[in-house]
């Protein structure tokens, strides 16, 4: 039962982040899965991607209702996004877990600095 409670809490937090910020659920999901659920790094990153899909669909629904969603922009950037996703998944398989953690940490620091000074 305690395990399912952890799943629910992590899911709620990730969902709130995804809904509030339009993304960012993965940045919360990965460390939570590692620390509280004992999931290894590569599996946490891959699982976070799958977790974000249904959350993103729900967010898109609400953002579309408010008129914030730009379908044209999605199509214009999707080709590069698909290519980047394939490349990222390939690179993930090649990297050591410690290297993934360092890259992820650097990404979080850069994102945080950007948000603070924007």
Q: Tens digit of pLDDT for each residue in 52-87?
A: 888 888 888 888 898 988 889 989 999 899 999 899
The reported pLDDT for the residue numbered 87 is: 95
Domain with 54, as residue range(s), is 2-117
The reported pLDDT for the residue numbered 52 is: 82
pLDDT-based confidence at residue 22 (cuts at 50, 70, 90): low
pLDDT-based confidence at residue 23 (cuts at 50, 70, 90): low
* Count: domains in the chain: 1
pTM assigned to the model: 0.64
Report, as an integer, the average pLDDT of 3-11.
86
* DSSP letters spanning 38-78: ---HHHHHHHHHHHHHHHHHHHHHHHHHTT---HHHHHHHH
Specify burial of residue 96 (Cβ count, 10 A radius: 0-12, 13-18, 19+).
Answer: exposed
pLDDT-based confidence at residue 1 (cuts at 50, 70, 90): low
pLDDT-based confidence at residue 115 (cuts at 50, 70, 90): confident
The reported pLDDT for the residue numbered 113 is: 92
């Amino acid at each position: 039962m305690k395990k399912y409670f952890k799943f629910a809490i992590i899911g709620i937090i990730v969902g709130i982040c995804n809904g509030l910020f339009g993304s960012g659920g993965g940045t919360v999901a990965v460390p939570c899965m590692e620390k509280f659920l004992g999931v290894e790094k590569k599996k946490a990153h891959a699982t976070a991607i799958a977790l974000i899909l249904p959350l993103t669909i729900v967010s898109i629904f609400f953002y579309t209702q408010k008129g914030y969603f730009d379908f044209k922009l999605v199509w214009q950037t999707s080709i590069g996004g698909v290519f980047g996703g394939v490349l990222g998944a390939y690179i993930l398989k090649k990297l050591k877990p410690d290297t993934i953690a360092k890259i992820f940490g650097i990404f979080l620091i850069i994102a945080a600095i950007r948000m603070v000074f924007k």
